[in-house]
């Protein structure tokens, strides 16, 4: 679609320095100046210490081509694709690549570890599944090809990004890996009295902690758990791993169990750690965890223990309140003489009293506990990011046709007194999908150091190019300023191949490279002899390959 906006103004805006932008920021009112990009808080939270221009580009138009299309002057390298060998042991890159996080080796922007989530599997791994029931071999592949990959990547003498398969760090974490449980459900009857569990899968998006580990989110876990006859209460958690230490694998039950999309970590004014999280389902809630104890920068990975004890809150958007999810509160509601189960909660009062006996039960059955206590059902809350400029919190509400929310929107939360630890907030609809904005169904988010939000879209493959989705064509990557004169305007930076969704945008610290996953190209294929996509069109390939690409061409200012 043709954008109805002053593009020249926007481009000059993109080239403006971050500090000037913060000063010019319109609409932030009282927040302005409290946490500019140059402030200690913003730097501390996000590691953006400079003021680079990462987004100068000529916007592209929507496309239905089976290509990854980028603006003039940009190019991409396929770094790792489905089934590529990643190390000397012959381990393979997983399928359904999603979240990415880059960790420099020895401070380098040209060599580092790339952690990638693998969310799901499809026909290009399994072939057709007969009568909807997987064979033993298919189940083994299901558990192997989901999870996470750690690979080592570098730029060669020509600047091209490649995978170093001789890496001592490269490894897979998947359905066979062992995890230590932490928090209220550890050892509790809610999870079958265990303290360790086997396997992670359905790893969607994630986040990096303040101590440089990765949080990976188990989203739609039930299909795989059921196919493999696994205890479903062992999945649907947030996993923490250390790219440089293969022995460190935890699942933090204090952060709740639901269809986790991602995590966004920041600090309350008093130094407690705050983690925002979305439950990617129609009519599901937004959560935040606030640790009991305070962050200690010198403790490094020891801070991970903060994630085992604290308060899990759910958002009530009507009251502007964060409601604490405690067993005491749940019992009080259930024991009330006038109790009536809210919409979305199944079972009688007696069933529910049996389900909720301990805090372990609350975190394990988080969605039900949230609805019982007044959590607001919303429109598929996916990625959440905290602005490095002003501590406002951006949430992608992807869409929800139950409510006629066809194109979704991005909600922006303003915590009371600009404190991430607050229990009260206000919010605005920062940007809405639709023909007026040029994007539909926002999903993953990433900030650059100019305060621009990079947004990928997730129009479902079966809807792409049809009905009211027609004008958007294939899924895209958009750049949206969060302050200044072009606040909320979306410009298209990339168009993905046929039936793909682009996921996991992540910049190198110098913002000269953007890693991005190309998930499920050709997803609607039902006959392997007629794939609907062949991206990335590798010579000899007869199927598409989900892959992580490295995009370069970013200018420094």
Interface contacts to ligand FEO, rule CB under 6 A: 119, 204, 219, 261, 280, 382
Taking the complex as a whole, the smallest distance from the CB of residue 13 to Ca ion amounts, in Å, to 28
- Residue 218's binding partner among Ca ion, ligand FEO, none (Cβ under 5 to 8 angstroms by kind) is none
If the CB atoms of residues 382 and 546 are measured against ligand FEO, the closer one turns out to be 382
Longest dimension (CA), the chain: 73
- Residue 152's binding partner among ligand FEO, Ca ion, none (Cβ under 5 to 8 angstroms by kind) is none
Taking the complex as a whole, the smallest distance from the CB of residue 211 to ligand FEO amounts, in Å, to 25
- Residue 84's binding partner among ligand FEO, Ca ion, none (Cβ under 5 to 8 angstroms by kind) is none
Whole-angstrom distance, CA of residue 505 vs CA of residue 407: 21
Taking the complex as a whole, the smallest distance from the CB of residue 203 to ligand FEO amounts, in Å, to 9
If the CB atoms of residues 152 and 280 are measured against ligand FEO, the closer one turns out to be 280
Residue 532-551 contact track with Ca ion, rule CB under 5 A, x = bound:
--------------------
If the CB atoms of residues 189 and 402 are measured against Ca ion, the closer one turns out to be 402
If the CB atoms of residues 272 and 409 are measured against ligand FEO, the closer one turns out to be 409
Q: Tell me which of 379, 443, 448, 499 binds Ca ion, using CB under 5 A.
A: 443
Whole-angstrom distance, CA of residue 412 vs CA of residue 432: 11
Residue 213 exposed, middle or buried by CB count within 10 Å (0-12, 13-18, 19+): buried
Query: Footprint of Ca ion on residues 376-405 (CB under 5 A)?
Result: 382
Whole-angstrom distance, CA of residue 83 vs CA of residue 85: 6
- Residue 361's binding partner among ligand FEO, Ca ion, none (Cβ under 5 to 8 angstroms by kind) is none
Taking the complex as a whole, the smallest distance from the CB of residue 201 to Ca ion amounts, in Å, to 15
CA atoms within 13 A of residue 182's CA, in its CB half-sphere:
17
Whole-angstrom distance, CA of residue 486 vs CA of residue 451: 12
If the CB atoms of residues 261 and 499 are measured against ligand FEO, the closer one turns out to be 261
Q: Which residue is nearest to Ca ion (CB)?
A: 458
If the CB atoms of residues 119 and 242 are measured against ligand FEO, the closer one turns out to be 119
Q: What are phi and psi of 293, to 5 degrees?
A: -100, 170
| Residue span binding Ca ion (CB under 5 A) among the ranges 306-314, 328-336, 419-427, 435-443 | 435-443
Q: What are phi and psi of 244, to 5 degrees?
A: -95, 0
Q: Tell me which of 66, 91, 415, 458 binds Ca ion, using CB under 5 A.
A: 458
Taking the complex as a whole, the smallest distance from the CB of residue 216 to Ca ion amounts, in Å, to 13
Residue 30 exposed, middle or buried by CB count within 10 Å (0-12, 13-18, 19+): exposed
Whole-angstrom distance, CA of residue 184 vs CA of residue 458: 34
Asked if 499 and 461 touch (Cβ cutoff 8 Å), the reply is yes
Question: Helix/strand/coil (H, E, C) string of 479-538?
Answer: EEECCCCCCCCCEEEEECCCCCEEEEEEECCCCCEEEEEEECCCCCCCCCCCCCCCCCCC
If the CB atoms of residues 422 and 500 are measured against Ca ion, the closer one turns out to be 500
Taking the complex as a whole, the smallest distance from the CB of residue 474 to ligand FEO amounts, in Å, to 17
- Residue 279's binding partner among ligand FEO, Ca ion, none (Cβ under 5 to 8 angstroms by kind) is none
- Residue 219's binding partner among ligand FEO, Ca ion, none (Cβ under 5 to 8 angstroms by kind) is ligand FEO
E strand or H helix that includes residue 551 = strand 547-552
| 152 lies in the site for Ca ion, by CB under 5 A | no
Size of the site for Ca ion (CB under 5 A): 3
Taking the complex as a whole, the smallest distance from the CB of residue 207 to ligand FEO amounts, in Å, to 14
Taking the complex as a whole, the smallest distance from the CB of residue 323 to Ca ion amounts, in Å, to 25
Asked if 253 and 237 touch (Cβ cutoff 8 Å), the reply is yes
If the CB atoms of residues 519 and 533 are measured against ligand FEO, the closer one turns out to be 519
Taking the complex as a whole, the smallest distance from the CB of residue 221 to ligand FEO amounts, in Å, to 11
Q: What are phi and psi of 492, to 5 degrees?
A: -85, 125
- Nearest alpha-carbon partner for 293 in 254, 239, 238, 243: 254
If the CB atoms of residues 10 and 258 are measured against Ca ion, the closer one turns out to be 258
Q: Cβ neighbours of residue 452 under 8 Å, at least 6 residues apart?
A: 14, 54, 55, 479, 480, 481, 482
Q: What are phi and psi of 6, to 5 degrees?
A: -85, 95
- Residue 546's binding partner among ligand FEO, Ca ion, none (Cβ under 5 to 8 angstroms by kind) is none
E strand or H helix that includes residue 67 = none
Q: Cβ neighbours of residue 354 under 8 Å, at least 6 residues apart?
A: none
If the CB atoms of residues 458 and 546 are measured against Ca ion, the closer one turns out to be 458
Asked if 408 and 379 touch (Cβ cutoff 8 Å), the reply is yes
What are the residues binding Ca ion (CB under 5 A)? Answer: 382, 443, 458
């Amino acid at each position: 679609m043709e954008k109805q906006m002053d593009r020249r103004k926007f481009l000059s805006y993109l080239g403006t320095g971050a500090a000037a932008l913060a000063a010019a920021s319109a609409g932030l009112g009282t927040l302005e100046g409290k946490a500019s990009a140059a402030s200690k808080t913003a730097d501390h939270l996000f590691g953006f210490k400079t003021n680079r221009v990462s987004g100068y580009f000529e916007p592209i138009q929507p496309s239905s081509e089976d290509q990854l299309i980028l603006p003039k002057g940009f190019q991409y390298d396929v770094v790792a694709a489905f089934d590529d060998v990643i190390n000397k042991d012959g381990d393979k890159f997983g399928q359904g690549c999603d979240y990415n996080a880059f960790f420099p080796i020895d401070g380098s922007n040209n060599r580092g570890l790339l952690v990638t989530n693998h969310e799901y599997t499809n026909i290009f791994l399994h072939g057709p599944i007969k009568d909807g029931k997987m064979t033993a071999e298919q189940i083994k592949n299901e558990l192997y090809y989901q999870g996470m990959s750690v690979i080592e990547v570098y730029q060669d003498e020509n600047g091209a990004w490649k995978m170093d398969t001789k890496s001592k760090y490269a490894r897979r974490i998947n359905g066979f890996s062992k995890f230590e449980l932490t928090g209220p459900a550890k050892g509790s009857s809610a999870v079958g009295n265990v303290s360790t569990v086997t396997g992670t899968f359905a790893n969607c998006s994630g986040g990096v902690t303040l101590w440089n580990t990765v949080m990976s989110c188990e989203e739609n876990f039930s299909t795989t758990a059921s196919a493999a006859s696994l205890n479903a209460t062992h999945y649907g958690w947030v996993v923490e791993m250390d790219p440089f230490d293969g022995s460190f694998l935890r699942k933090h039950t204090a952060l709740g169990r639901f269809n986790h999309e991602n995590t966004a970590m920041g600090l309350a004014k008093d130094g407690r750690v705050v983690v925002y999280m979305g439950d990617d389902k129609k009519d599901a809630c937004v959560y935040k965890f606030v640790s009991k104890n305070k962050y200690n920068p010198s403790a490094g990975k020891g801070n991970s223990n903060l994630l085992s004890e604290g308060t899990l809150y759910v958002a009530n958007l009507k009251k502007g309140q964060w409601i604490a999810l405690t067993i005491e509160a749940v019992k009080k509601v259930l024991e009330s003489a006038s109790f009536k189960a809210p919409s979305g909660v199944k079972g009688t009062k007696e069933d529910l009293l049996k389900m909720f006996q301990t805090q372990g039960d609350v975190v394990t059955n988080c969605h039900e506990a949230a609805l019982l206590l007044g959590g607001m059902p919303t429109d598929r809350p996916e990625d959440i990011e905290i602005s490095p400029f002003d501590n406002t919190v951006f949430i992608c509400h992807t869409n929800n046709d139950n409510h006629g929310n066809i194109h979704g929107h991005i909600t922006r939360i303003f915590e009371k007194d600009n404190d991430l630890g607050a229990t009260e907030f206000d919010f605005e609809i920062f940007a809405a999908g639709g023909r007026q904005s040029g994007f539909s169904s926002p999903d993953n988010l990433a900030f650059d150091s100019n305060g621009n939000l990079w947004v990928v879209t997730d129009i479902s493959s079966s809807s792409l190019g049809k009905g009211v989705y027609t004008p958007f064509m294939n899924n895209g990557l958009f750049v949206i300023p969060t302050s200044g004169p072009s606040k909320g305007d979306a410009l298209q930076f990339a168009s993905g191949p046929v039936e793909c969704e682009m996921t996991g945008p992540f910049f190198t610290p110098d913002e000269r490279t953007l890693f991005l996953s190309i998930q499920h190209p050709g997803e609607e294929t039902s006959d392997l002899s007629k794939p609907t996509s062949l991206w990335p069109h590798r010579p000899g390939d007869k199927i598409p390959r989900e892959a992580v690409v490295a995009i370069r061409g970013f200018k420094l200012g």
